[in-house]
Amino acid sequence: MSKALKSELPKTIDPYRFADQESVLEGFLPLSALERFADSILGAASSDPREQCQVSLVFGKDEERRRIVSGELVADVMLECQRCMKPMPVRLSSSFMLALVTSDEQARNLPKDLEPFQTDGFTANLWDLVEDELLLVLPPFPLHERGECEATAVLETFEPDPAAVVPDTEKRENPFSVLADLKKDRH
Ligand SMILES: [Zn+2]
């Protein structure tokens, strides 16, 4: 899925028809359209929707004639490092196998390796599916790699304590000197 995808993933489709026809769908979707997920991240890593989240879905049937959809997705997002509170780029990826169901009873009867994908039998919202999968793989406690984190000094304990983070003042410009420079430029 590294190639650039040209089309947006359709929002709603007829999943049973797709499964019977063994259809394959590939497309991108804008992360800002996924409200619950968008609220959980700082933003997309790219402003181009084609580079934010790429999805590939394969519809079909398993050996027990259950309609299934297997898929892969990749999303490049910005998260807040929970040690230094600075933004960090994170690539989220997921592969999944879902079985189409139209009732809770069908969902309960699935084997353990199949997750239910609830539909009304005629329409399924693929963007909701993608959003649910993204929320599942979102790390609850994102951290920079060692050496890349601005709070590296407190790394040794591995218990991040925001109060213990001492800003590296030597590297920072004094805001007043920046202001003074700005004023100088204007005259
Ligand atoms: Zn960090």
Taking the centre of ligand 1 as the mean of its atom positions, its distance from the CA of residue 82, in whole angstroms, is 7
| Strands 87-101 vs 12-13: parallel, antiparallel or unpaired | unpaired
Q: What is the CA radius of gyration of the chain?
A: 22
Determine contact, residues 102/110, Cβ cutoff 8 Å: no
Quote the pTM value: 0.77
**Tens-digit pLDDT profile for residues 5-61:** 789 999 999 999 999 999 999 999 999 999 999 999 999 999 999 999 999 999 999
Taking the centre of ligand 1 as the mean of its atom positions, its distance from the CA of residue 83, in whole angstroms, is 5
Q: Which residues surround ligand 1, an ion (CB under 5 A)?
A: 81, 83-84, 144, 149
DSSP 8-state code for residue 24:
E
Taking the centre of ligand 1 as the mean of its atom positions, its distance from the CA of residue 107, in whole angstroms, is 40
Amino acid at 160: P
